[in-house]
């Protein structure tokens, strides 16, 4: 009888084990089927979402094309790293250190147009003169005729109504010399030259006796005389808020 009970117990345990295994297999099959159903139903929604996101990004790009083109058209100006000397005990003459380079910045061109002539500011540079408390400033601009070939005069200091000058904090400084192309001002206080349509020509205006602390020009006022088929007479041209860079 004991052997019969033992055999019956073993058979019952084996049967229970098989039932548990079948139950687990069925359970995992149900999980797999449920996951498959979720994938089948959500895949189209995921694809639709990707398409809608692509449409939205494309619309943002279309709406900002003008701004992107404007940014790309502006030149980037990079400042070169400055090398400063730091002496050491071993070799004070050859020891150098690179300072941080300035981040690139967008630079807006400074230019005005008057009577078909474009005046494009290039630079105002200072250099010491004989007086240690003052300096000379030399401003360079490019002048372009947009309509036709013309005759142009640039005045330095001919008389009270025909002068070029700069203003800084209420102080006035009159030009001492002007240059237009290869020609310089004469004793009459002006220089003249011929301008070819759409071809820029360089003009240089010199000022003397400017205080050393001047680092920016409030207004650069230039006096011209134009001789063309559409206009004959004086032209006052003003360029504002111009930086003054140190001498080379």
**What are the Cα distances from residue 219, in Å, to 105, 108, 164, 227?**
24, 17, 11, 25
Q: What is the pLDDT of residues 105-118, one digit of tens each?
A: 444 678 999 999 99
Per-residue confidence (pLDDT) for residue 26, from 0 to 100: 73
pLDDT-above-90 percentage for the chain: 42
User: In DSSP terms, which residues pair with 105 in a beta bridge?
Assistant: 77
Per-residue confidence (pLDDT) for residue 212, from 0 to 100: 86
- Whether 83 contacts 97, CB under 8 Å: yes
Name the residue among 204, 181, 189 with its Cα closest to residue 127.
204
Q: What is the pLDDT of residues 183-195, one digit of tens each?
A: 998 788 999 999 9
154 CB neighbour count, 10 Å cutoff:
26
Per-residue confidence (pLDDT) for residue 101, from 0 to 100: 45
More confident residue, 25 or 183: 183
Query: 68-77, 124-133, 154-163, 201-210: which has the minimum mean pLDDT?
Result: 68-77
Q: Which two tokens stand for residue 13?
A: 């345990």
Q: Is the torsion defined by CA of 121, 127, 130, 131 positive or negative?
A: positive
Per-residue confidence (pLDDT) for residue 96, from 0 to 100: 46
Burial class for 221, CB neighbours closer than 10 Å (0-12, 13-18, 19+): middle
The enclosing H or E element of 93 equals: none
More confident residue, 40 or 225: 225
Say yes or no to pLDDT of 7 above 70.
no
Q: What is the pLDDT of residues 86-107, one digit of tens each?
A: 454 455 454 444 444 444 444 4
Per-residue confidence (pLDDT) for residue 44, from 0 to 100: 63
Per-residue confidence (pLDDT) for residue 65, from 0 to 100: 65
Average pLDDT for 172-180: 95
Average pLDDT for 54-81: 59
Phi, psi of 103 (to 5 degrees): -65, 145
CA 32 to chain centre: 58
Per-residue confidence (pLDDT) for residue 207, from 0 to 100: 94
Q: Rounded to whole angstroms, how far apart are CA atoms 142 and 147? A: 16
Q: Rounded to whole angstroms, how far apart are CA atoms 140 and 155? A: 14
Q: What is the pLDDT of residues 51-60, one digit of tens each?
A: 665 666 656 6
Q: Which two tokens stand for residue 62?
A: 């279309």
Say yes or no to pLDDT of 124 above 60.
yes
Query: What does the buried/exposed string (b/e) look like for 51-82 if buried means 16 or more CB atoms within 10 Å of the residue's CB?
Result: eeeeeeeeeeeeeeeeeeeeeeeeeeeeeeee
Per-residue confidence (pLDDT) for residue 150, from 0 to 100: 97
Q: Rounded to whole angstroms, how far apart are CA atoms 163 and 149? A: 24
Which residues are within 8 A (CB) of 201 and not within 5 positions of it... i.e. 6 or more apart? 142, 143, 144, 180, 181, 193, 195
Q: Rounded to whole angstroms, how far apart are CA atoms 223 and 167? A: 14
Per-residue confidence (pLDDT) for residue 49, from 0 to 100: 58
Q: Rounded to whole angstroms, how far apart are CA atoms 88 and 93? A: 8
Average pLDDT for 32-58: 66
């Amino acid at each position: 009888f004991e052997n019969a009970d033992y055999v019956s117990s073993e058979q019952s345990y084996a049967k229970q084990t098989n039932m548990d295994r079948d139950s687990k297999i069925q359970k995992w099959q149900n999980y797999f089927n449920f996951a498959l159903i979720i994938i089948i139903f959500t895949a189209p929604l995921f694809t639709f979402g990707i398409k809608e996101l692509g449409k939205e990004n494309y619309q943002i790009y279309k709406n900002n094309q003008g701004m992107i083109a404007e940014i790309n058209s502006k030149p980037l100006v990079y400042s070169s790293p400055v090398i400063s000397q730091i002496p050491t005990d071993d070799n004070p003459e050859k020891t150098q250190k690179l300072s941080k380079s300035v981040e690139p910045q967008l630079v807006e061109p400074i230019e005005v147009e008057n009577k078909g002539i474009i005046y494009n500011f290039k630079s105002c540079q200072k250099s010491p003169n004989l007086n240690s408390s003052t300096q000379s400033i030399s401003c360079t601009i490019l002048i372009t005729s947009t309509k036709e070939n013309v005759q142009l005069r640039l005045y330095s200091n001919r008389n009270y109504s025909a002068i070029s000058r700069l203003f800084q904090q209420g102080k006035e400084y009159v030009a001492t010399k002007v240059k237009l192309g290869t020609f310089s001002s004469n004793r009459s206080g002006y220089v003249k030259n011929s301008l070819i349509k759409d071809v820029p020509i360089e003009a240089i205006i010199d000022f003397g006796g400017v205080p050393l602390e001047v680092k920016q020009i409030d207004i650069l006022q230039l006096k011209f005389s134009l001789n063309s088929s559409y206009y004959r007479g004086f032209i006052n041209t003003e360029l504002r808020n111009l930086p003054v860079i140190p001498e080379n």
